[in-house]
């Protein structure tokens, strides 16, 4: 019986490893590379706490609020998140003014990663990459 994550090559007859579709290449970095205010705001969206900055200003004349950039993320643990590397998330990070998050997503994209995982206890990025480690409470 063949393991479900292995398949037989059609022409070579050799076993070739394939990834399960739910497993993707992930760049894991320390959440401490995010300014504390950004980390707090991402965490708050998972706690049903809406920071005042999340309330959009109404568009003049329409009476309806303008659409606000929103970063789609999954909370893995307290102050640890997974963010898919998508154009929409890069644009959301840019729209929110979160330059460091945008740079991390772009770095993950350049490394052919499907996701960026931010964990409080992970090792820091190499100094050569120029990412600052912010002080956390």
Question: Could you give the CA distance from residue 57 to residue 66 in angstroms, rounded to a whole number?
Answer: 7
* Angle at CA of residue 96, ends 69 and 80, nearest 5°: 95
- 18-27, 58-67, 94-103, 120-129: the lowest-pLDDT one: 58-67
Q: What is the pLDDT of residue 133?
A: 85
pLDDT band at residue 99, thresholds of 50, 70 and 90? very high
- For the chain, the average pLDDT equals 76
- The confidence band for 3, taking pLDDT boundaries of 50, 70 and 90, is very low
> What tens digit of pLDDT does each residue of 24-41 get?
799 999 998 899 999 999
Q: Is 83 exposed, middle or buried (0-12, 13-18, 19+ CB in 10 A)?
A: buried
Does 59 score more than 60 pLDDT? no
Q: Supply the pLDDT for residue 125.
A: 79
């Amino acid at each position: 019986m063949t393991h479900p994550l292995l398949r037989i090559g059609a022409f070579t007859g050799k076993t070739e490893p394939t990834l399960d579709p739910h497993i993707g290449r992930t760049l894991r970095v320390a959440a401490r590379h995010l300014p504390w205010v950004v980390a707090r705001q991402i965490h708050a969206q998972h706690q049903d706490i809406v920071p005042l900055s999340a309330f959009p200003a109404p568009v003049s004349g329409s009476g309806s609020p303008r659409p606000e950039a929103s970063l789609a993320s999954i909370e893995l643990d307290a102050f640890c998140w997974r963010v898919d590397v998508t154009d929409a998330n890069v644009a959301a990070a840019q729209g929110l003014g979160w330059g460091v998050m945008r740079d991390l997503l772009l770095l993950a994209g350049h490394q052919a990663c499907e996701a960026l995982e931010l964990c409080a206890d992970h090792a820091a990025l190499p100094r050569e990459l120029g990412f600052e480690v912010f002080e956390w409470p």
